[in-house]
Chains A and B, each alone.
Chain A
């Protein structure tokens, strides 16, 4: 029998369509149809200035928009050939790890509640809410943060940030302990998650998978370790690796990564250097408001950067960061003007959806829900 699941289905968060070939309840083949949320990210970016692209990147993976901001800013800075001051780099590490915790909590919480573990789901949503509140206090927005700029961050950390984070992490650790007790020996949860959606090491590499899915299959590839960016090489952290590559391993990988991310944030807050959070270069940085309103030079400077955009030297480059779902890469081409000539995002969950049929073949229709949950497809990033 042929069954069309989606594009709007209550058990799949995100608009996606599965064209299933079934034999009874067994899935023989699955053709994934993506693109329902396609809004022309690449084309829109070509119309905007380099700075105006940052809000667009928020809307890619909206569960970890800070990492998207940072990935884009790092790529443009690489093409310009500048490096941000140490304090800015530390702040970027801190916020991207907060975003990663948020991303993993969303994914695991949703996956748990879709399997009926509503309580555990709500505990994780509560932990996520605590992170959002920190992000909101820091950036002024919950999801579409636009906190990072080319050559710096919007502003320095807020007062009492470290204490607030320490307190939140205490609560999150307690909540995760509760979730662990609720889930890791839970018969229903284990039956639904383990030995479902298995993908072997070779298959995962052949399908270009990255992130928790690849690591759950036993490949220790993390961009933060393999190609360190920012100041990640100065921190001690582990890359959790699974063995079987099933949904349960993916779940455990993500939960253990939350713990590692919290460790990184604590180390970074401890060693946070003092200094500016912007590069000292008037070509890319807006002048202070006193100068804009107080002098004609300042006003013209401000006007030129806003209207014409910063000038990025001609060339092309690629840089990648470790997003919540895997390697998030940006390939940009500049023709020397104030607007990008081409911006391409390497979307980790789009590529993961390309391997979905491999994960679900031979399983039941009901197994689509946890497998899809652990792929953590985010429409904004998958369809762009």
Chain B
């Protein structure tokens, strides 16, 4: 499962295979000696035209007891951008994975509620991919119809009577 181990600027870095990712995380979290019990961050990097596979999902975890940080990098190919979700292990991963999905278009299998989070639902494309131009203009979004909006009948009638008294059709 481990593809490569390295140490850069004093950080421990593991490059993991995405197959069986959740099991790897479960081991890292629950093993008494490893004890990486705290998830710090999830993000992704797009190495478009620089590296193959194109994406890398990056996890920062740490062991509070041993005072040690660990960075996990998981390569993800462009034709199937998906990794297993770690939300069952850390519920805080929910928002972080939604953000990666929103900005990079990498799916998280087993995520309970994978929706866009920072951008709106009608947004086209994934802006943090390197092939998304920085000055691209998004199409205009038609007005949404909101169902079940509460309308106060009295104020409505008041407006109607006011219109009538003013002679408007």
Q: Which residues of A contact B (CB under 8 A)?
A: 2, 34-35, 38, 40, 42-43, 46-47, 78-79, 81, 203, 205-209, 219, 221, 226-227, 315-318, 320, 327, 329, 331, 333, 335, 341-342, 344, 346, 350-351, 353-355, 383-384
- Do the beta carbons of B118 and A2 come within 8 Å of each other? no
A208-B93, A226-B67 known; A315 vs B9 contact (CB < 8 Å): yes
Contact with A along B78-104 (1 / 0, CB 8 A): 000000000000111111100100010
**Chain-A contact segment, one of B17-25, B38-46, B156-164:** B38-46
Contact partner of B96 (CB less than 8 A), chosen from A219, A327, A351, is: A351
Could you tell me the distance in whole angstroms from the C-beta of A350 to the nearest C-beta in chain B? 7
Docked CA distance A47–B132 (Å): 13
Instruction: Name the interface residues of B20-41: CB closer than 8 Å to any CB of A.
Output: 37-41
- Majority secondary structure of chain A interface residues (helix, strand, loop or mixed): mixed
- Do the beta carbons of B40 and A226 come within 8 Å of each other? no
- Do the beta carbons of A34 and B60 come within 8 Å of each other? no
- Do the beta carbons of B64 and A383 come within 8 Å of each other? no
Docked CA distance A353–B43 (Å): 17
- Do the beta carbons of B45 and A209 come within 8 Å of each other? no
Could you tell me the distance in whole angstroms from the C-beta of B37 to the nearest C-beta in chain A? 7
Chain B residues with Cβ below 8 Å from A316 are 8, 45, 58
Docked CA distance A331–B120 (Å): 25
Docked CA distance A341–B45 (Å): 9
- Majority secondary structure of chain B interface residues (helix, strand, loop or mixed): mixed
Contact partner of B94 (CB less than 8 A), chosen from A315, A344, A354, is: A354
Instruction: Name the interface residues of B97-118: CB closer than 8 Å to any CB of A.
Output: 99, 103, 117-118
Could you tell me the distance in whole angstroms from the C-beta of A45 to the nearest C-beta in chain B? 11
Contact partner of B128 (CB less than 8 A), chosen from A42, A206, A329, is: A42
A315-B9, A317-B11, A344-B43 known; A205 vs B118 contact (CB < 8 Å): no
Could you tell me the distance in whole angstroms from the C-beta of B13 to the nearest C-beta in chain A? 8
A43-B134, A329-B41, A333-B45 known; A79 vs B9 contact (CB < 8 Å): yes
Could you tell me the distance in whole angstroms from the C-beta of B115 to the nearest C-beta in chain A? 10
Chain B residues with Cβ below 8 Å from A342 are 45-46
Chain B residues with Cβ below 8 Å from A207 are 90-92
- Do the beta carbons of B71 and A35 come within 8 Å of each other? no
Contact partner of A206 (CB less than 8 A), chosen from B92, B95, B99, B134, is: B92
**Which chain A residue has the least Cβ–Cβ distance from B13?**
A316
**Which chain A residue has the least Cβ–Cβ distance from B39?**
A208
Contact partner of A384 (CB less than 8 A), chosen from B94, B96, B118, is: B118
A35-B119, A40-B127, A331-B58 known; A208 vs B45 contact (CB < 8 Å): no
**Which chain A residue has the least Cβ–Cβ distance from B135?**
A47
Chain A residues with Cβ below 8 Å from B54 are none
Chain A residues with Cβ below 8 Å from B134 are 43, 46-47
Top 7 closest A-B pairs, CB basis? A208-B92, A354-B95, A35-B118, A207-B92, A346-B41, A344-B43, A38-B118
- Do the beta carbons of A344 and B41 come within 8 Å of each other? yes
Interface residues on B, range: 35 or more
Docked CA distance A337–B142 (Å): 41
Could you tell me the distance in whole angstroms from the C-beta of A165 to the nearest C-beta in chain B? 32
- Do the beta carbons of B127 and A221 come within 8 Å of each other? no
Q: A208-B90, A227-B67, A320-B40 are in contact. List 9 more A-B contacts (CB 8 A).
A: A35-B120, A43-B128, A207-B91, A207-B92, A208-B39, A327-B40, A331-B43, A346-B41, A353-B95
- Do the beta carbons of B90 and A315 come within 8 Å of each other? no
Docked CA distance A207–B86 (Å): 12
Chain B residues with Cβ below 8 Å from A227 are 67, 69
**Which chain B residue has the least Cβ–Cβ distance from A79?**
B9
Contact partner of A34 (CB less than 8 A), chosen from B45, B96, B118, is: B118
A318-B11, A354-B95 known; A205 vs B38 contact (CB < 8 Å): yes
**Which chain A residue has the least Cβ–Cβ distance from B58?**
A331
Chain A residues with Cβ below 8 Å from B90 are 206-208
- Do the beta carbons of A35 and B37 come within 8 Å of each other? no
Chain A residues with Cβ below 8 Å from B93 are 208
Query: Any chain A CB within 8 A of the CB of B139?
Result: no
- Do the beta carbons of A346 and B8 come within 8 Å of each other? no
Chain A residues with Cβ below 8 Å from B39 are 208
Could you tell me the distance in whole angstroms from the C-beta of B99 to the nearest C-beta in chain A? 8
Chain B residues with Cβ below 8 Å from A78 are 9
Chain B residues with Cβ below 8 Å from A329 are 40-41, 60
Contact partner of A331 (CB less than 8 A), chosen from B38, B60, B92, is: B60
Docked CA distance A350–B99 (Å): 10
Could you tell me the distance in whole angstroms from the C-beta of B112 to the nearest C-beta in chain A? 12
Docked CA distance A204–B29 (Å): 16
Query: Any chain A CB within 8 A of the CB of B167?
Result: no
- Do the beta carbons of A318 and B148 come within 8 Å of each other? no
Query: Any chain A CB within 8 A of the CB of B154?
Result: no
Chain B residues with Cβ below 8 Å from A208 are 38-40, 90, 92-93, 96
- Do the beta carbons of A42 and B40 come within 8 Å of each other? no
